[in-house]
Every structure is written in structure tokens, then in C-alpha cells.
Structure 1
């Protein structure tokens, strides 16, 4: 099988800019001519093995940075957007989309922003009972989606915040008693901490300097909420500097992002990077053992595994997703080539939907996506009780997975036959190319249909080749 050539011009230019080097200086350090570097930076020539080696030796670069998943995510997002019926012309070839994602990522994101704006406007027009007669019914970007995309395209890894949280956790000593340290720091800041029987999970009164955390909440939740509040009170300058760098378009998006960054600090302090990565490898990524070791929940551990993307010290690339009982994706992140639908739910053949039928148990599944990549998928139902008989219980299912080439590093692969059946799944029905899926809900928008009134199979139509 021929080795795939590596075209990474945008990444080379980004690395050179980060190092503040001219093209000539960069070429000299890499041991190549200036014209050769220029051709590589413009994707006219692939990055050679000698250049990859020089990047690692000269700059200590984690060479996996050259193949990070941003281009694949952009291609996936563009394919989904172009499947919209508004695009009546033929869909651009996949090769063209990959060229756009590699050579002009800013243009690709601008296209996605434009399509998202169109969808938002279309949805508002469809809700005339809300839109008619309102002064604020004009087109506005969704703050929630803007923040989601910020984390999505950062690989859900924020280096400065992650390292600050790890430094905090390290200062707690060898026993990693981050909660006692957090309580001490809050006390020094004049904050009174109380655990009360209150329905609110967390409530902070800045005037009275009083923090109340619900005694009803599970222990992992209480720990997380304490660290979240600590982040807001002691890491404000860092959070604000990160927000300034992100340049969100609305105050609402900035506010939502600040909550996300404080949550990130809390998770990274509870599960500090190097200690957690080492424990993950030692336990072969056993979620229950990791949760017990760090005093965290199964969901917190699964989410943290998907963020271990620090340059030079990366963990297994995982995807993580959380869905509600209606199948709606409420959290999503992927450090793998598998990307989730930006609108709607996940593929119904995926085991994450079956997890609600077996509460408290892990489901394992081998799957294959239309691009031929195979994954080991793990799914489990998680419940969040309200702490009282009449309090509502929130139920979700979480999914975690990696490519099968990493399966041997997962305890959940034990006893499974990698030569067995791989369930064929897709991203969403409207862009899935599979012609014979018995669970298809809508036809693929990129393919022609054959309708025969005299014949009926699983579907009332055939998908033309």
C-alpha cells in the first residue's frame, strides 16, 4: 500500500510564525532551500521525512501537530453544510474540499459561518409567531454555537488553563488533596464555604463572600463545583486573557465561554494532566478505576480523556459525546477523525442510544464509518439524581471511543474479536452515503433517488450509484 503524502503547508506557516522566523531562517534550520520551503508552505510539495525529523530535532516539535484533525473537521463540516438543499448545484469533489481545508482554512470557516448564519435566519423565519413584530428578530450569531466551535477547533485543549490547573494540583502535595487546598485558598480570600441542603447545586454571593454548595449533590459534583468557583476567584486574569485572545463576537458568547474555561480549570485541577495521563495508561483507561483514584465521576473521566492533546505529551486520541434521551447531542468533542453532526442527533446504529436500556453497564461496539476508519466505541448511561424523592433525575448516555489501532491499550477491548463484525455507522443520515441502511430516516442529499411504485424494500426508494 502506498504511503499517503503529507501536505501541511498551513501548519508549517503557523509554526514559522509562532517561532517568529523568516522563510530563509526557517529553511536554513530545516536544512532545505528557500524555494523548497516555499513550495511546501504552499502545498505544492509534500513535507519530506527529513523535514519532519528536523522539526522534531531542531524545535522539539510533536510531529503529530502536522496531522492534527482540524482539516478533517473542516472537511466534515463543509460536507454537511453542502448537503443542505439550498446548494442545488453538484457538490464539490471531496478532493476540492480537502484542498480548501488545507490551503485556505480561514475561507472554509468563513463559509461555515455564512451557512450557519443562513440556517439561523431560516429557523427564525420559520418561527413567525416569535419573529414578527420584534425589533430584535434580526440575524444574530448563536453565542452557544460560537463557544462550542471555539473549544471544538482548539481540540478542546486550552494549554495555558490546563497548565495553570496542573500547577495548582501539584502544589497540593503528593496526596493531591486539591479540595483541602481549594478550601484553604477560599478561606484566605475571605470566602465562607457552606454545604447546605439546598436545591441549587452551587450559589455564590459576591457581596457577602459566601459560597453554598448543595449537600444533596454527589461527591464528585461538589468537588467540581468548588474548583469551578475557585477558578473564577483566583484565575480571573488568566481566563480574561484567554477570552481576549478568542475575540468572541458578543458579550453573551464571552460570558458562556468564561463558564466553559472555569469548568475546564476545574476538570484539569481534579484530573491533573501528567498524573492523569500516567494513571490512564497504567489502568489501560479503565474509567471506573480512574474515577475512584481521582474522586471524579465517570463522565468527568471520559471527558478528560478526550482532552489529553498537549503537544509532546499526547494521550490516545478519543472522541467523547453525551446525548439525552431524545438522541440530541448535548456535548461533543473529537480528537479523532470521527466528527459528529452539528445539527440533529447521532447515527441510530451507534451503541450510545442503547445505553439507556442497560443503566449502569458499559456497552462495547466495533464500528466503521463511511470513510473506512474503524473504531472501538464505549457507551454508558449516566444518571444525575436530584438528591430527594421528588427531585428530577437527569439521564444521559455518554460515548467514548478511539480508532481500533489503539484498542489494545483499552481494557474494554479485552475479550472482543477485532476480526468480528464492525457496525456500519455514519455521521447523520442526510450526508451518509450508505445505500442499504435499514435505519435511514431521510434520503442522502448528495445522491439521486430511484422511486419504483411497483416495488418496496426496507426503504420506499433506492439510492442511485
Structure 2
């Protein structure tokens, strides 16, 4: 089967600009004519395999970055935003959205930022937020949303941080019992470790170099927090350099992202890329066996599996999501075509919501989204006890999944009829942008479809989706 043509003009132009070359000089180095390069940069011609090879060999460019993953995410985000009622009328066809995302990604991101600003202002007006009217009440994305989008558009894989963590873990024991080795590394830095009842998960006093961890937290959490502090102390310059490239709009966003990168380092050091990728394949992604082998929690393992997207050694492309008991998405990462709702909760037909009913058990689901893509989804309830009588227990549910073409690599898919069309349950992203007409769990009408209301007929819903 012929490979699809790769149109990546903006990315090619961005690469040339970053190298500080004119079109004429760049064309000469790539071994193509100036008009041919100009046509490729303007998406009038696809990027040839010869050019991709030259970019990789002569300039060290990661040609995987020329793929369509970011374009697909932009198309998904544009589709959701354009379903907002403020855009009265028919939504542009998918082909137009793909052209915009591929040819003008900067403009597409600016459009998304403009919509976020509109939503921020609209929500403040609707809630009569007393911050309205203050000089600092600007319609910008919240720092949390800005950081979430940063990881989202990086495919949740940060190469420099991941490799640094793998290097730091080169001497860890192979049985997953690394607490002693991590503590010895901290001891070498002059850090004193203490466990205390009633303490927060982690508290570091820079002056005394005392690291205090909660005695009530699990052993996996304590090791993870030790690794996070190790990242802060030994790789601060790397974290800051990565943040400089991201160019966050506020100090708050940068501070949140710095913690996020330190968390990323901790997970990557706990489960080093090469060893973890090999073990994941050998264990057929059995979360419990991987958790025991690396001294990690099931949630940590599932999250780490969603980051295995190193260009030359990719793992199964997973999505990972965590929801609270209200259905609100608190973590979301996707290396698949499945994109999560940016606003509101997830589809109620998704098995991640049913996981709360069966604590401690894995739930399996074959699902199909409105675009016809089929997925295998694994869900489980995750409880985080407070560590003492009367302390609140935090309950979440996580879901890990992949497109059904990869399901054979998961032990959890054994025995499921992956070839039977009616075995796949219809799910969506969120009700407001899902146009399934006969959904029995619909909470609100789809924004981009007209409704028919018959006062003489009532079915499951008081209206019909046109």
C-alpha cells in the first residue's frame, strides 16, 4: 500500500529559519532546486523522501516531528471550538480544518487562544466574578490550562528530560527496589531524609537541606517524591532550559510546568525508557506485573506507558486519562487519535466511569468513536487512602487504551472478539460536540445540530437530533 504524501511546509520553513539559512542556501544543502524548495515550503508539493533523509543525516533533524500527530490534535481542537454556539452557522468542513492546521498552524493556535480568551471573559461575566473589572483580570488561559496544553502538544514526551532521567537511573538495581539507591544519591548531595506523621507529601528546606516526606504515604509515593526532589537539585538547569523554550505567559504557568517536568523526570527515572519499554513488551503491558517489577504504582505505570514515544524506539501509542468521581478529567494524555474534551467531563458511556462501581478490578471495553476509529480501553478505580482513621480517601478512576490494531500487544485483550463490529460500544468525546442521534445517555444537545421538538411525542429525550 502506497504511503500517504507528506505535506509539511510550515515545519520545513520553521526548520530552515531555526538553522538561520536562506531558501537558496537551504536548497543547495538539501540538493534540490530553489523553486522546488519554495513549493514544498508552501505545501504545493509534498516533502520528498530525499529531503527527509538529508534533514536527518546532514542536520540531525528528528523527521518524526514532520508527522501528522500535531495536525490531528489541532484539527480535533478546532472542531470542538467551532461547535461553540458563538459560531452561528455551519462548521467548516473537515478538509478546510486540515488545510488550516497543516498550512497555518500558528494561525490555528492563535484562533484557539482567542476562543479561550472569549470563554474566560464569558464565564467571568456569567458568574459575576468580582475579579471582573480589576486591572489584572485579563482573558488569558489559566496557568493550569497553558501547562496542560504544553504537554498535550509535546505528545507527553520530553526527550531531553527523559534521556537525563534514564542516565541518572543507570545504576539502579534491577529488582525495582531503588529506595536505598535514591536515598544514597540524596545523601551524597548532603540532603537529610525524614518521615513525619501529618507532613505534606514532600517538603524541602533549602537552608537546612532537610527533605521531609509524609509517613502516611505509600512506599511508591515516597520514592517518587525523592526522585522529584533529586530532579530539582541536580537537573535544575535542564528544567529551566526546557521552560525557556516553552515561553509561558506567566510566572505561575512556568512554576507549574517546572513541577510537571520534575514529575516527568521522576517517572522516567523510576521506569527508565529502555528497560521499561522492553519489560512492557515482554509482560504484554500487564500493569500489575510492571508495577511490582519497577516498584511503582499502577497509576504511575499506566501514565509512563503513555509517554513511550521516543522517535527511534516507540512503544504502543496509548491514551491515558484520570477522572474524579464527578467525571471531571484531572489528567489526560494521548498518543492516539482519541482526543479528550477540553471543557467539561468525558463521555458517560466510557468504561472509566463504571470503574468506581468495581473497586480493585480491571474493566475492559471495546469502543468506537463517531469518526469510526475503534479502541480497546482498560479502566480501574484508584483509591488513595489518607493513612489514618478519619483521614479522607481520594478516589479516582484511570483509563489506558489504544487503537484496536495494537490490542493484541495487551494481555487484557485476550479472549475478546476484536473482529466483531457489534462488540464495539459507541462512545464520544463529550455530549456538546457528539452528533450521535440515538444516544440514551445524552445530557445536553449537540451544539452543531438542529433539534426537532414534537409536543405530542416523548421518547428518552424530549427532542430529536436533526
- The farther-off stretch of 138-147 and 104-113 is 138-147
- The farther-off stretch of 40-49 and 115-124 is 40-49
Preserved contact between residue 81 and residue 112 of structure 2 (Cα < 8 Å): yes
Aligned alpha-carbon RMSD (Å) = 2.3
Preserved contact between residue 74 and residue 101 of structure 1 (Cα < 8 Å): yes
- The farther-off stretch of 416-425 and 11-20 is 11-20
Q: Counterpart of 1:204?
A: 204
> Is the counterpart of residue 439 in structure 1 residue 441 in structure 2?
yes
Match of 1:425 among 424, 427, 442: 427
Q: Rate the CA distance shift 1:272–1:99 in 2: closer, same or farther, 3 A.
A: same
Q: Which runs of 5+ in 1 are unaligned?
A: none
Q: Counterpart of 1:297?
A: 297
Q: Rate the CA distance shift 1:334–1:34 in 2: closer, same or farther, 3 A.
A: same
> Is the counterpart of residue 88 in structure 1 residue 88 in structure 2?
yes
Q: Rate the CA distance shift 1:140–1:116 in 2: closer, same or farther, 3 A.
A: closer
> Following the alignment from structure 2 to structure 1, what is the Cα–Cα distance between the partners of residues 43 and 256?
37
CA drift at 1:316? 1.3
Preserved contact between residue 178 and residue 269 of structure 1 (Cα < 8 Å): no
1:14-64 residue CA offsets vs partner (Å, 9 max, x unmatched): 444566665456556666544333323222223455655666677777654
Q: Rate the CA distance shift 1:18–1:277 in 2: closer, same or farther, 3 A.
A: farther
> Is the counterpart of residue 46 in structure 1 residue 67 in structure 2?
no
Preserved contact between residue 195 and residue 214 of structure 2 (Cα < 8 Å): yes
- The farther-off stretch of 165-174 and 297-306 is 165-174
Preserved contact between residue 370 and residue 434 of structure 2 (Cα < 8 Å): yes
Q: Which runs of 5+ in 2 are unaligned?
A: none
Q: Counterpart of 2:359?
A: 359
> Is the counterpart of residue 374 in structure 1 residue 374 in structure 2?
yes
> Is the counterpart of residue 115 in structure 1 residue 115 in structure 2?
yes
> TM-score by structure 1 length?
0.93
- The farther-off stretch of 350-359 and 193-202 is 193-202
CA drift at 1:436? 1.4
> Following the alignment from structure 1 to structure 2, what is the Cα–Cα distance between the partners of residues 353 and 260?
26
Q: Rate the CA distance shift 1:454–1:174 in 2: closer, same or farther, 3 A.
A: closer
Preserved contact between residue 61 and residue 312 of structure 1 (Cα < 8 Å): no
> Is the counterpart of residue 460 in structure 1 residue 462 in structure 2?
yes
> Is the counterpart of residue 166 in structure 1 residue 136 in structure 2?
no
CA drift at 1:336? 0.8
Q: Counterpart of 2:330?
A: 330
Preserved contact between residue 162 and residue 264 of structure 1 (Cα < 8 Å): yes
Preserved contact between residue 280 and residue 286 of structure 1 (Cα < 8 Å): yes
Q: Rate the CA distance shift 1:67–1:137 in 2: closer, same or farther, 3 A.
A: closer
CA drift at 1:208? 2.0
> Following the alignment from structure 2 to structure 1, what is the Cα–Cα distance between the partners of residues 147 and 382?
25
CA drift at 1:171? 3.7
> Following the alignment from structure 1 to structure 2, what is the Cα–Cα distance between the partners of residues 55 and 203?
46
1:243-270 residue CA offsets vs partner (Å, 9 max, x unmatched): 1221111111111111111111111110
CA drift at 1:133? 7.0
> TM-score by structure 2 length?
0.93
State the aligned residue count: 464
1:296-353 residue CA offsets vs partner (Å, 9 max, x unmatched): 0111111111111112111111111000000000000111111000000001111000
> Is the counterpart of residue 127 in structure 1 residue 121 in structure 2?
no
CA drift at 1:158? 1.1
Q: Counterpart of 2:246?
A: 246
> Following the alignment from structure 2 to structure 1, what is the Cα–Cα distance between the partners of residues 211 and 137?
38
Q: Rate the CA distance shift 1:367–1:32 in 2: closer, same or farther, 3 A.
A: farther
> Following the alignment from structure 2 to structure 1, what is the Cα–Cα distance between the partners of residues 129 and 59?
58
Q: Counterpart of 1:151?
A: 151
Preserved contact between residue 175 and residue 293 of structure 2 (Cα < 8 Å): no
Preserved contact between residue 379 and residue 397 of structure 1 (Cα < 8 Å): yes
- The farther-off stretch of 344-353 and 442-451 is 442-451
Q: Rate the CA distance shift 1:60–1:189 in 2: closer, same or farther, 3 A.
A: closer
Q: Rate the CA distance shift 1:216–1:310 in 2: closer, same or farther, 3 A.
A: same
Preserved contact between residue 309 and residue 315 of structure 2 (Cα < 8 Å): yes
Q: Rate the CA distance shift 1:181–1:62 in 2: closer, same or farther, 3 A.
A: same
What is the SS of the residue equivalent to 1:332? strand
> Following the alignment from structure 1 to structure 2, what is the Cα–Cα distance between the partners of residues 68 and 410?
25
Alignment of structure 1 residues 11-410 onto 2, 5 Å: 11-17=11-17, 23=23, 27=27, 32-48=32-48, 64-128=64-128, 130-131=130-131, 136-172=136-172, 178-410=178-410
1:209-240 residue CA offsets vs partner (Å, 9 max, x unmatched): 11111121111111101111111111111111
Preserved contact between residue 83 and residue 446 of structure 1 (Cα < 8 Å): yes
What is the SS of the residue equivalent to 1:390? coil
Q: Rate the CA distance shift 1:385–1:85 in 2: closer, same or farther, 3 A.
A: same
Q: Rate the CA distance shift 1:249–1:62 in 2: closer, same or farther, 3 A.
A: closer
> Following the alignment from structure 1 to structure 2, what is the Cα–Cα distance between the partners of residues 139 and 50?
45
Preserved contact between residue 299 and residue 398 of structure 2 (Cα < 8 Å): yes
